[in-house]
A = this chain, B = another copy of it.
Amino acid sequence: MEAKKRITELFGIEYPIVQGGMIWCSGWELASAVSNAGGLGLIGSGSMYPEVLRDHIRKCKQATDKPFGVNVPLLYPDIEQHLQILVDEGVKIVFTSAGNPAKYTGWLKERGMTVVHVVANTKFAKKCVDAGVDAIVAEGFEAGGHNGREETTTMCLIPMIVDCVTVPVIAAGGIGCGRTMAAAMCLGAAGVQVGSRFAASTESSAHVHFKAQILAAVEGSTELTLKEITPVRLLKNPFYEAVMAAYEAGADAEALKSLLGRGRAKRGMFEGDMVEGELEIGQISARLDRMETAAEIVEDMMRGYKAIAENSSFFQY
């Protein structure tokens, strides 16, 4: 168990905090800021053309001498080009998601990379171990963006994944402060991945309109929807209302795909169109109310975490 818990050693970082590699939010500025603060920053390559990704990796290397990584959705059309860029640029840590871990894990491991795959159920967690990953991100229902169909929450999912794998498990979904981080560790996680709070940070490349909407979100402001295509947790905005109207009118998967179209997430999250854009964010947005720097977030999380972990009277009842 203890051996499973050292993701700080696995990644060579100070704190067991990973910044989720999010489309349109996490370029080199956010990733390097998190890594410089002692966590693991991830460039989100899912919204980048190959040459844009190369540019972000190069800038990230200039901005930090600490370890950082890249998140790569395996369903991305230019996936092999992306992976070759990681090799060429000497990236040491890759988080893969949205696809079969069996396909590229061996190839990446042969090239000396530390490989982590993101899952939302035990079936894929076991596939990850079979594929030879170094760690797993287990993402609960409350997480933003694309998510599992079983709707298993972080509280239920993490112990199940921990109990069925031999590698460290990084908990994601609903985590963004020291208390939730300590809770995740109690569930057996070796560390946490934080998305939403970093999406709203100073260094996030998200449009300021989107950041403002994240900070204004309250309970019930997000919903996991579009399950007929790929389940995704969205902020409720006019585009979301259009999706609900389509459901009401009996839309099938094809009609929903057509409504979604292409570039909706960019339009909302990067270009700031709060009406027509698709705004991917987690439930924990309801708990966020001010913009902070990445370093402030890491420091605040560790302060809150230590207040629990170093206080033996905390668990008295």
Binding site for B on A (CB under 8 A): 2, 5-8, 15-16, 121-123, 140-142, 149-157, 159-160, 173-175, 177, 179-180, 182-188, 190-191, 219-220, 223-224, 250, 283-284, 286-287, 305, 308-310, 312-317
- Chain B residues with Cβ under 8 A from A185's Cβ? 186, 314-315, 317
Query: CB distance B182 to A186 under 8 Å?
Result: yes
Chosen A-B contacts, 23 in total, with CB atoms closer than 8 Å, are: A2-B313, A5-B316, A15-B317, A140-B155, A150-B219, A150-B220, A151-B224, A152-B283, A152-B286, A153-B155, A153-B174, A153-B283, A155-B155, A155-B174, A155-B180, A157-B219, A159-B177, A160-B219, A160-B287, A183-B187, A185-B317, A186-B308, A186-B314
Query: CB distance A155 to B177 under 8 Å?
Result: no
Query: CB distance B317 to A287 under 8 Å?
Result: no
Q: How far is the CA of A177 from the CA of B186 in the complex (A)?
A: 11
> What is the total number of copies of this protein in its complex?
2
Query: CB distance B122 to A152 under 8 Å?
Result: no
Instruction: Give 6 nearest A-B pairs by CB, closest first.
Output: A309-B315, A150-B220, A155-B174, A183-B183, A182-B186, A183-B186
Q: How far is the CA of A152 from the CA of B173 in the complex (A)?
A: 12
Which of A157, A250, A287, A317 counts the most B-chain CB atoms under 10 A from its CB? A317
